[in-house]
Structure 1
C-alpha cells in the first residue's frame, strides 16, 4: 500500500469558490519516501492580500504558471491508487476533488488525517496544529505555509507514526474505509473485490465449507450489513468468527437472485441459514359475484371444501398480491375486500365508483376478468424473460403450475435454437411458487410466454 501526502495553498477557503495556487505531493511506500511532486498553479482568480501575506504567493508569481487542467492528468496518476493523507485532510481533499470533478473525474481515494492520527499516537498535547506537533516531535518545516514545506513535514510525521504505531494507522485506515466491520479472518483485499451488483453470495469457513447463503440487490453492501447493527447479534458474532472467504454469482435481477438463493439453500443446507419451511396454514384468494353482479374478492384460509383462485403462504403475501392487482387493474378496494367503507369516504382516486354503483358491473367485471386471466396464465407452464447480468445477455425461467423447473442465462440471442433445452433443469421446490406469486403482478406482458395449456 502506498500513500500520497498532500498539501495545497489556495486563494480562498471554499472548494467551489477558491482556486488552488500551489500543490505538493510526497509519495510514501509505507517504509520510506519514494517520490516528490510540486508546482505553483494559476488559480484563475485574484489572490486576496491576506492570503499573500500568509503564503507569500501573489498574482505575479502565478500568472504564467499552469492551470489545474494542465496538470490534472499527471496529478491523477499520483493520487488515484494511493491513500490520500493530509493534515486536516478534508480541506485539501475537498479542493482537489472539486477541481477533478470539473475535469470529469471523481476522486474516491481512501483518506487519512494526520491530525486525528497524532491525537492517538501522541496523546495529551495542547495543540495538534502542524506547527505545534512538529515542534513537539522536533520535525523541521523548511517553508511554513508553502505546499512542499508543509507536505514534507507531514510526510515525516506520518513516517514516524506508521513506524511507531502501525496498528493505529492501519485501524484508522480501515475505519475511514468503512471496513472495521470486517470479520477478523476476512481480508480487506477480498472485500474490495465484492461486486455492488445483484446476486447471491456464499460465506465460507476455513475448511472451504459454505456456512451461509444469501441474496442481495447489492452484494457488497449486504455483506457489510451482516456484521453491523444490533439485529441478531449472537448470529452475527458466530458468522464473524468463522467466515474467511466469500464467493458469489450475479443474477441481473432481484427475482432471479431470490430463486437462486432458495435453490442453493436447499442444495447445501448451510449451517447458519434458517431452514426453509412451508407454513402449516395456507391462505387463498377467493372470487365471487355479489347480488348486483359485481365481481368481488376475499382473502381467507384455505379449506378442503373451498377452491381459491390463488394460494399463498401467508395473509401478508395474499394482501400484498391483491393490493398490487388493485393498482394494476384499477379494482375497487371495497369490492376487493381491502376496505369496509366506500372509496369516496377515503378519497380513493383509482376507484371509478363500482362500490356506489356509479360504474356498471359489466365494465367493472372486465377489469376483474383481466386479473383472473393473468392468474390463470401464471398457473400454466410459462417462460419468463428478463435482462441478464450484462447487456448482451438474457435470463429465462420456466415455471410449471407456479413452480420453477428450469432457468439459465443466454448470450447468443440471435441463434437461440431450442431455447428450453438450453436451460438448466432444477428440483421442483415449492418455495419458488411463493416467489413467483410475489413478483408476477409486476411483470410486463412481453416478458411472459405460455408454453402449453393445462
Structure 2
C-alpha cells in the first residue's frame, strides 16, 4: 500500500493555497517528493505571514495551483491521502481543483484520529505537541515541508503499533466514518446521535457549546457539517470534541428549542442568529376624508401594530387576503400607490369607495371587521405537535398572543381544560425571534 503524506499552507481568509508538500511513502521509506510554493492569486494577510513566514513577495513568482495541478495528480495517483487533520488539507486541495474545473478523489487517513486510537493518553494531539511528546524533530513548524516531514515520521510510528493493521483496515473501510469525522471527535459519540428531529450542540475541549443547530434528522444534519468546505465549518469541526443532543419530536419545537438554546449559550459559530430581525407591522389610520386605511411599515416605526410579520412578501399576501375576504379597496390597503382609483391585477371585488361609489361609513365598518379578525389572532392557542415517541404528544402554548413555551405529555393523560397543560409546560421566553418562528404556523390556522 502506498501513501502520500501531505501538508498545505493557506491564506487563511478564503483558504487559497500558498504552499504544498507531498511525500510519497511505501510504509518504510519515502520514494518521491513534491514541494512547492503556490501563488494564491490573492492577498496573504499579515497575521498569516507572522505564522508561516510566507508573504506576498515570496509567492509572487511561484506557480499557480493550475500550473502544478497535474504534478499533484500524478504523485497522489493510486495512493492513500494522509494528513494531520486530513479533512482540512483534503478540502483545500479539492477546492483548488474544483476552481480549475478538475476532479480530485482519493481515499483518506487522518493521523490525528489514528493517533488517538493507536497511541491514546496524550494531553494534546496537535502536531506540534504530539511531536514533542514522541520526540519527533519538527523543523520549520507551519511550513508545508516541515509539517509534512514530521507527519511522515509520526505515520511510520503508527504503522508499527500493535493492532495497527486492524485499525488501518477499519479506517479505510468504505462504510467507516473515520475519514469524515472531525479529528478530535470519538466515533462512538457520532454513532450515538439519533436520526430524529431535535437540536444538537457542538462542544469544544472545555465542554463549551460553540454551535447549536436544529434538524429533522439530527445524525444526517450533523454529518453534513463534516462535508461542508466553508471556512466556518472547517474551523468549527476542528474545534469539536463532543456533540450533545435533545429530541424534539417535531420541526416546530426543534426551532423553538434551538432559539432558546442559542440565547442561553451564545455560541460563537451561530453568527446568523445574532443578527437583528427586521419586522413589518400592519396598522390602521384615518385620512382627511374619514376613510380608514390599512397599511404596513417597519415594526420599529409602528407604535401599536395590529399584526407583525417578518418579511414584506408575507405582509402583502396577508393584506391581499383581507381585501378579498372583506371586499376592501387595494388602494386604501396600500397595495397600490399613487393611483386615483384601484386597478389591482387580481383583486376585483372593491365596491368602489375609491370611486365615490361606496359610502365611507359602510367601507369603514368592513375595515373595522377586518381589524377585529386580525386582533382575534392574539387569543389563547394550543398548537398540537408530534411527540418524541409514539406514546407521547407535544404542544406549544400561546396565551393572549404571547408565547409561553412548549411541553410533552403522555397520550394517556386526561386533559379537560387548558390549565391542565400547565403541569407539563416547559416555560420559555417570548421574543421577536419566536414570533418569527410561530407567525407562519398561526397564519394557517
TM-score in terms of structure 2 length: 0.49
Looking at CA atoms only, which structure, 1 or 2, has the larger radius of gyration?
A: 1
TM-score in terms of structure 1 length: 0.48
